[in-house]
């Protein structure tokens, strides 16, 4: 008889779950067989990796939904707690022995520490005479399978996307894995899922982020029905609900890349055509899913990005400003630049920030304030409901001109012109910077241009924390010196 242990991590779903399907296939029928689900509560590991409380809250609520879904398959979900990440492999082995499981199945995670943890887990299982099956599930293609003609990892997105499309044209789009059939009932009780883990108490309204796999699919279906076709035209405007907001659910694995691509293909009236043919909104959204994939591949091919290192080693010599006052003003949303402050306050209030504004705020910190991108990257991770190392690091290094596909050092977003273009009427600013709610016209983007008396009435900084034009030139000069050196 074979009883399988399914170790859940960032794959909190029963549909399209490669490892779960494999565990169910491997398990024997009968009371001595079946599948046991395991989730490790690991607050030390989460803190080390800067998990945001709002993200942990969504994970816990999704775990409760997952436990109910697994119960319908006669799979109990048991919980264990690890003090540190180094304790996890032995703890998983202990859970397998406790529940008489002779094989382990799990989906691989690709961050460096997680890869080392998974390798160690396989070692301890093999040393104990038990089997461990590691499965590729997080990406459309296994990291490392899509390479340049010279056999290297791609370092620019567009060629990576073309190669990924070519691979899918030739081999087919990866299929969605069906829900496993119910297992034989076994006499193991599911563990209660805690409402909160100490140290990760969230102040964000949980109603903003409904939990679970079913909700993620409902959100995906609604997006594909109502918003995917006009996606490209609407995606850059933070005052418009024009994005899918599926990133939190992709991050915890309540939904998969494969399911997103399948839904986009289904929504395409030219569904039998290549992935880059059809309405621009659909093809552009598929590209955005591929961006996430690209950064995972980068993380595997260049593990230094998991260690606080710049993707472009030459940029490590940049001497960033060690300005705690400026960083504090940025992080609290009181820089005096409305679009920047709106973004930072949206992050604090909701645990999420519109992607266009993420770029604006990141460039303002790294180019105008010239503060080390790593400080901003860490702040985002500690507050984002969709905090995901690969995407967050990739976005920050792009903005700081230290990463892959990095914006040329001389291309620096002007936060004022960005605000005027993408929040023309100031709806987004007024929502998150209520001090400016009564400011009319163009002044919503530049309140320091108001006449003296009107400006004095505002409970808002009288001037931006930095001269935008001069600070831009200073950043350009620093990067120019680096290039010339």
pLDDT digits 0-9 by tens, 290-304:
999 999 999 999 999
φ/ψ of 104, rounded to 5, equals: -120, 140
Q: What secondary structure, in 3-state letters, does 100-129 show?
A: CCCEEEEECCCCHHHHHHHHHHHHHHHHCC
The rounded distance, in Å, linking the Cα atoms of 123 and 101 is 16
Residue 129: predicted pLDDT: 97
pLDDT tens for each residue of 202-252:
999 999 999 999 999 999 999 999 999 999 999 999 999 999 999 999 999
359 with 394: CB under 8 angstroms?
Answer: no
Better-predicted residue by pLDDT, 456 or 206: 206
Residue 481: predicted pLDDT: 84
- pTM beyond 0.75: the answer is yes
Q: How confident is the model at residue 441 (pLDDT cuts 50, 70, 90)?
A: very high
Annotation marks residue 17 as catalytic: no
Inform me whether the pLDDT recorded for 433 exceeds 90: yes
The catalytic position among 352, 373, 379, 398 is 373
Residue 375: predicted pLDDT: 98
Annotation marks residue 330 as catalytic: no
Sheet holding 4-8, edge to edge: 77-81, 35-41, 4-8, 103-107, 131-135
Q: How confident is the model at residue 165 (pLDDT cuts 50, 70, 90)?
A: very high
Q: How confident is the model at residue 47 (pLDDT cuts 50, 70, 90)?
A: very high
Helices 280-301 and 257-267: angle between axes, nearest 10 degrees: 160
239 with 427: CB under 8 angstroms?
Answer: yes
Annotation marks residue 288 as catalytic: yes
The catalytic position among 321, 355, 431, 448 is 355
* Structure tokens given for 369: 């304030």
Residue 405: predicted pLDDT: 80
Which is nearest to 105 in space by CA: 212, 17, 12?
Answer: 17
* Structure tokens given for 165: 């499309």
Mean pLDDT of the chain: 95
Inform me whether the pLDDT recorded for 276 exceeds 90: no
The catalytic position among 215, 320, 414, 431 is 320
Q: How confident is the model at residue 485 (pLDDT cuts 50, 70, 90)?
A: low
The rounded distance, in Å, linking the Cα atoms of 141 and 167 is 9
Annotation marks residue 320 as catalytic: yes
Annotation marks residue 266 as catalytic: no
Inform me whether the pLDDT recorded for 69 exceeds 90: yes
Beta-carbon neighbour count of residue 227 at 10 Å? 18
Residue 431: predicted pLDDT: 97
Q: Which of 127-136, 230-239, 363-372, 449-458 has the lowest mean pLDDT?
A: 449-458
402-432: string of b/e by CB count within 10 Å (b at 16+)? bbbbbbebeebbbbbebbbebbeebebbbbb
Q: How confident is the model at residue 31 (pLDDT cuts 50, 70, 90)?
A: confident
12 with 60: CB under 8 angstroms?
Answer: no
Taking residues 10-25, report their average pLDDT.
98
Q: Which of 375-379, 404-408, 460-464, 479-483 has the lowest mean pLDDT?
A: 404-408
The catalytic position among 74, 288, 414, 435 is 288
pLDDT tens for each residue of 72-125:
999 999 999 999 999 999 999 999 999 999 999 999 999 999 999 999 999 999
The catalytic position among 291, 435, 446, 448 is 291
- pLDDT above 70 as % of the chain: 99
Residue 484: predicted pLDDT: 67
For the chain, domains (ranges, CATH) are 4-137 (3.40.50.620), 139-175+212-301 (1.25.40.80), 313-484 (1.10.579.10)
Residue 452: predicted pLDDT: 86
Which is nearest to 22 in space by CA: 104, 109, 92?
Answer: 104
The catalytic position among 7, 46, 379, 396 is 396
């Amino acid at each position: 008889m074979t009883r399988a242990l399914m170790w859940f991590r960032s794959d909190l779903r029963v549909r399209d779950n490669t490892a779960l399907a494999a565990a169910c296939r491997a398990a024997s029928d009968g009371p001595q067989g079946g599948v046991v689900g395991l989730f490790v509560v690991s607050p030390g590991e989460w803190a080390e990796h800067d998990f945001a409380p709002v993200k942990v809250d969504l994970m816990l609520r999704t775990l409760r939904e997952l436990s109910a879904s697994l119960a319908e398959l006669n799979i109990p979900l048991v919980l264990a707690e690890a003090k540190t990440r180094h304790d996890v492999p032995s703890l998983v082995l202990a859970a397998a022995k406790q529940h008489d499981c002779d094989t382990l199945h799990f989906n691989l995670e690709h961050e460096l520490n997680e890869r080392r943890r998974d390798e160690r887990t396989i070692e301890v299982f093999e040393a104990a005479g038990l089997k461990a099956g590691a499965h590729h599930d997080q990406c459309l293609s296994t990291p490392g399978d899509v390479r340049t003609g010279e056999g290297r990892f791609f370092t620019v997105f567009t060629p990576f996307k073309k190669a990924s499309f070519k691979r899918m044209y030739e081999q087919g789009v990866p299929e969605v894995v069906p829900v496993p059939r119910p297992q034989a009932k076994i006499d193991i009780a599911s563990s209660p899922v805690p409402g909160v883990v100490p140290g990760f108490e969230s102040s964000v309204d949980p109603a903003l982020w409904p939990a679970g796999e079913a909700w993620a699919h409902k959100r995906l279906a609604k997006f594909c029905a109502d918003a995917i076709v006009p996606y490209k035209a609407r995606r850059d405007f933070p005052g418009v609900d024009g994005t899918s907001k599926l990133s939190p659910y992709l991050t915890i694995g309540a939904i998969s890349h494969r399911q997103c691509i399948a839904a986009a293909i289904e929504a395409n009236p030219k569904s039998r055509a290549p992935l880059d043919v059809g309405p621009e909104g659909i093809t552009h959204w598929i590209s955005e899913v591929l961006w996430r994939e690209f950064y995972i591949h980068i993380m595997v091919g260049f593990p230094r990005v998991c260690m606080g290192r710049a993707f472009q080693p030459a940029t490590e010599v940049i001497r960033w400003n060690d300005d705690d006052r400026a960083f504090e003003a940025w992080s609290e949303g009181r820089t005096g630049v409305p679009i920047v402050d709106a973004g930072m306050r949206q992050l604090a209030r909701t645990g999420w920030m519109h992607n266009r504004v993420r770029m604006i705020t990141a460039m303002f910190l790294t180019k105008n304030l010239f503060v080390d991108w790593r400080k901003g990257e860490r702040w985002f991770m500690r507050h984002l409901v969709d905090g995901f190392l690969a995407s967050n690091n990739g976005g920050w290094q792009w903005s700081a001109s230290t990463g892959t596909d990095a914006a040329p050092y001389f291309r620096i977003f002007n936060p004022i012109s960005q605000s005027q273009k993408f929040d023309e009427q100031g709806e987004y600013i007024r929502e998150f910077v209520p001090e400016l709610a009564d400011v009319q016209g163009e002044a919503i983007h530049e309140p320091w241009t108001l006449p003296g008396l009107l400006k004095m009435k505002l409970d808002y900084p009288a001037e931006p924390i930095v001269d935008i034009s001069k600070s831009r030139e200073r950043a350009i000069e620093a990067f120019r010196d680096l290039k010339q050196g």
